[in-house]
Amino acid sequence: QKAEWAKLVNEKTVSKDGHHVELAANIGTPNDLQGVQANGGEAVGLYRTEFLYMGRDQFPTEEEQFEAYRAVLEGMENKSVVVRTLDIGGDKNLPYLKLPEEMNPFLGFRAIRLCLEEQDMFRTQLRALLRASVYGNLKIMFPMIATLNEFRKAKAILLEEKDKLQSENIPVSDQIEIGIMVEIPSTAVLADQFAKEVDFFSIGTNDLIQYTMAADRMNERVSYLYQPYNPAILRLVKMVIDASHKEGKWTGMCGEMAGDEIAIPILLGLGLDEFSMSASSILKARSQIRSLNKSDMEKLAEKVLQLQTNEEVIEAVKNVTSL
């Protein structure tokens, strides 16, 4: 099987009936690019920048960040690179950023919430990204967005930094798309409103499932509630995709679900535009998508949205695919 998949490295990801989707990779450092190329990744769908900040005793400088972002953008040779701004807090802490203990870290002061307060840190990252933007096809996305106001504030800060750079005669790309992760149910529910203001969505199912089911993704005792195919999750995913398309925008997914063989047929049917996963899953996913008809998967998607349980959805997918 692996030998069959390997032949697909340079092939497009098209369904049997000719619908193209983008298969992208999740990366944590520029060193991961090798795996992306080796597995035929069409883009980087999630660059988790927090690894730049972890395992050290002070913030990375603007220059260090610039070098890392430039390396990824150049390495991808004008293919799309979605960089997520710092997503720290929750389960990920920095020894040099002292934050008060919280009762519920996953519901607390993290990601964009932290960045909007710690603006020096945030602005340094944005400047590094903006400076790197001329070296490739950069898209910037903000994590853990819960309200339109958070998005507007983050975007305003980004545009301020862009203006400053331009007034210093430092070149910045004019093509940078600005999007958000959809990881919080409030944002999925208001996706129609967000879709008018963002350039794209990327659905972070690892957190979206945790927050929708109110089940800590690290807690074994409630793992039975961690249900990717629960129709409640699937309906939220559909709302986001439909809202984006209505405004001529696109939706990707960068949670684990995007590379999951049960989820892929449904997501194809729902019209997901970009699937971002660990590089090692790309060829298998490409092989699977090439074996499916999008029109059949649309019918499957319509059907599973009406089912009641995670298990029923798994059954339904197995019934119409070769899984």
Neighbours of 134 (CB within 10 A): 16
Considering only the C-alpha atoms of the chain, give the largest distance between any 2 of them, rounded to a whole number of Å. Answer: 60
Tokens of residue 70, six digits: 């430039």
Question: Residue 254 binds what, of Mg ion, ligand PEP, none (CB under 5 to 8 Å, by partner type)?
Answer: ligand PEP
Q: Which stretches of 128-273 are assigned E, i.e. beta strand?
A: 137-142, 177-182, 200-203, 250-253
235 is annotated as contributing to ligand binding: no
Nearer to Mg ion by Cβ, of 207 and 274: the residue is: 207
Give the 3-state secondary structure of residue 313: helix
Q: Which of 42, 150, 161, 183 binds ligand PEP (CB under 6 A)?
A: 183
Question: In the bound complex, what is the minimum distance in angstroms from residue 207's beta carbon to ligand PEP?
Answer: 3
Closest CA to 203 of 191, 214, 193, 215: 191
Tell me the number of residues near ligand PEP by CB under 6 A.
10
254 belongs to the catalytic site: yes
204 counts as binding ligand PEP under rule CB under 6 A: yes
93: left (phi over 0), alpha (psi -120 to 50) or beta: beta
Residue closer to ligand PEP, measured from CB, 39 or 210: 210
Residue 150 interacts with, from ligand PEP, Mg ion, none (CB under 5-8 Å by kind): none
Neighbours of 245 (CB within 10 A): 14
Return the residue matching tokens 């499916």. Answer: 292
Q: Are 136 and 76 in contact (CB under 8 A)?
A: yes
Of 30-38, 203-211, 226-234, 309-317, the segment contacting ligand PEP by CB under 6 A is 203-211
Q: Which of residues 176-195 bind Mg ion (CB under 5 A)?
A: 183
Catalytic residue among 24, 129, 176, 254: 254
254 binds ligand PEP (CB under 6 A): yes
CB under 8 Å to 245, separation ≥6 — which residues? 251, 271
Choose which of 22, 42, 161, 207 interacts with Mg ion (CB under 5 A). Answer: 207
**Which lies closer to Mg ion via its Cβ, residue 22 or residue 207?**
207
Helix (H) or strand (E) holding 276: strand 274-277
Tokens of 61: 């400088």
Each residue 139-178 as x (binds ligand PEP by CB under 6 A) or -, in order, gives ----------------------------------------
Q: For ligand PEP, which is the closer residue by CB, 41 or 204?
A: 204
- Which regions of 19-167 does DSSP assign to beta strands (E)? 22-27, 43-48, 80-84, 137-142
Give the annotated binding-site residues for Mg(2+). Answer: 183, 207
Give the annotated binding-site residues for phosphoenolpyruvate. Answer: 48, 84, 206-207, 217
- Tell me which residues touch ligand PEP (CB under 6 A): 46, 48, 87, 183, 204-207, 254-255
